[in-house]
A and B are shown apart, each in its own frame.
Chain A
Amino acid sequence: MRMKIDETLCSGHGRCAKFAPNVYTLDDSGYNADVGQIIAVPSGEEDNATKGRKACPERAITEVDG
């Protein structure tokens, strides 16, 4: 599973990392540290990654194929 973090939409709510700290990392300001990137979800973390995606108030996280 891979997740794309939208660079312009992420506004630093920090919610994604609450649900999936092993998937999403925050910078010191509380923004997703991987904005503009596609990140690979470690196996076993798929559920948490999805919860984190759904919890994002900006809908900045999308699942991408492959």
Chain B
Amino acid sequence: MMMDNSPARIVDPQDPELSPERLKERFGRDFFRDFDIDDPNLNTHFHEVIDLMVQKCPVAHSKVGTGYYVFSTEEAVRKIGQDWQTFSSAKGYIPNRPDDMPLMIPVEQDPPNHTAWRRVLNPHMGPKVMDAIRDDVAREVNALIDKFIDRGECEFIGEMAGLLPGRAFFIYVLGVPVVDLPELVHDVDKSLFGPLDERTAYHKKVYDYLEKFLKEREAMEPQGDIVDTILKGVTYGDGSEASWEHKVSVVLDLTYGGISTTIYALGSTARHLADHPEQRQQLLDNPEWIENAVEEFVRAYSPVVAMGRTCTRDTEVEGVQLKEGDYVMMGFSSAGRDPRTIADPKALNFAEPTIHHPTFGVGPHRCIGSHLARMELAVFTREWLRRIPHFRVKAGTEPVYETGFLRAMSSLWLSWDK
């Protein structure tokens, strides 16, 4: 049967709210018939766009580059993520992938090569390992708070969120020498949020540092940690051994997978609690709700807007016919706010214990850092509320966001009574 993939199939032509003119007037772009993940208008109208999309246009189309589809419902995202045979990661996780973009492993691999890496990496990133570094992370949070608490204000991204994930990962997971940290964390930050024309140079600097770090560790006695596991490598499905470049790529994927995402999760947690004193009070009164609250924060404010797959064969999702080679995106941020799975998706409900969402991905590529990120977010929330129970967004300031395939926050001023 031939499917009708015209915009009329995707967007209800009778709905005046969805007419191209009305959408352009409201958002500066018709995001439903021609989505663009990099359009600054998406940044400005972010939640309005994704909420309307998941409600009324669960399959948006984009004409950018070779074109792509964005699937917004929790069910479609889950189906695509789980079916790696049909939806391959090997051609990149962003649409129109630039040729000069360095290969990321394991995120740009399919089973069985992907499985070979995950099997050996997973035990180093599991919940037990993360439980064991809980107190260390709490100490890091407190050391950062010590530096600004007496001032009665801080720029949360620069002084807390931008520093904690790097310190947690580099010190306690990768075991990078502590003396190297300030520069490394600074360089990672510049490579992500620095001036556009400097990002590539900083990215190269981080790459060179991590490659040198691996080289040095190769010459040392094994320590039984994740670095040794990466150095040992894996055998791929065709019998070949993972190359040196692939090993460096794994370290880069672990580094970049975790920094910007966790910064945003910390930032949106802090902002939500600053703006909602009554929910802050709930957590002060019921600290046992903090882990649920973390799930709600990442569900409602997903750091990954969307990531993609390439169709390996003709197929159909949500009634839309897809062809081999088509690019599809999983809209994680809209899927976490899907009214089909969450009764009141815009409200955060800390008492509700059965929260499910695809914020950490679905299927074999499920975020390998999810246990680390969840632990960091819970420890942060507990320690921050213990030290600074009442705080607000500083009067006269506005949090600053950036949006691409990731949602990011680059500035958040908070203040409290000294």
Contact = CB atoms under 8 A, between A and B. Distances in A.
Contacts of B418: none
Contact of A55 (B355, B360, B363): B355
A28 B358 contact: no
A19 B354 contact: yes
Given A18-B291, A59-B78, A28 B123 contact: yes
Nearest to A48: B353
B99 to A, nearest CB: 31
B122 A12 contact: yes
Given A18-B291, A28-B128, A55 B122 contact: no
Given A9-B82, A11-B366, A29-B122, A55 B127 contact: no
B78 A58 contact: yes
A26 B127 contact: yes
A33 B77 CA distance: 25
Nearest to A31: B122
B357 interface: yes
A28 B128 CA distance: 7
A11 B362 contact: yes
B340 interface: no
Nearest to A9: B82
B139 interface: no
B363 A58 contact: yes
B126 A13 contact: no
A51 interface: yes
Nearest to B129: A28
Contacts of A12: 122, 126, 366
Contacts of A57: 78, 356-358, 360, 362, 366
B370 interface: yes
With a 10 A CB-CB cut-off, give which of A19, A26, A30, A59 has the most chain B CB atoms: A30
A6 B291 CA distance: 25
Interface in A1-20: 9, 11-15, 18-19
A62 to B, nearest CB: 14
B364 interface: yes
Interface string B143-181: 000000000000000000000000000000000000000
A57 B379 CA distance: 23
B356 A56 contact: yes
A26 B126 CA distance: 9
A15 B370 CA distance: 11
Nearest to B77: A57
B356 A15 contact: yes
B228 to A, nearest CB: 16
With a 10 A CB-CB cut-off, give which of A27, A51, A57, A58 has the most chain B CB atoms: A57
Contact of A19 (B127, B353, B366): B353
B127 A14 contact: yes
Contacts of B371: 14, 30
B354 A54 contact: yes
A13 B355 contact: no
Interface in B332-353: 353
Contacts of A31: 122
A30 B354 contact: no
A14 B353 CA distance: 14
A13 B356 CA distance: 11
Given A13-B366, A30-B126, 13 more contacts: A12-B126, A12-B366, A13-B360, A15-B356, A19-B354, A28-B126, A28-B129, A30-B127, A31-B122, A51-B354, A55-B355, A57-B362, A58-B82
Interface of A: 9, 11-15, 18-19, 26-31, 51, 54-59
9 contacts: A11-B362, A13-B366, A15-B356, A29-B125, A30-B122, A51-B353, A55-B356, A57-B358, A58-B78
The 10 A-B residue pairs with the shortest CB-CB distance, nearest first, are A29-B122, A54-B354, A11-B366, A30-B126, A29-B126, A30-B127, A28-B123, A28-B126, A51-B354, A55-B354
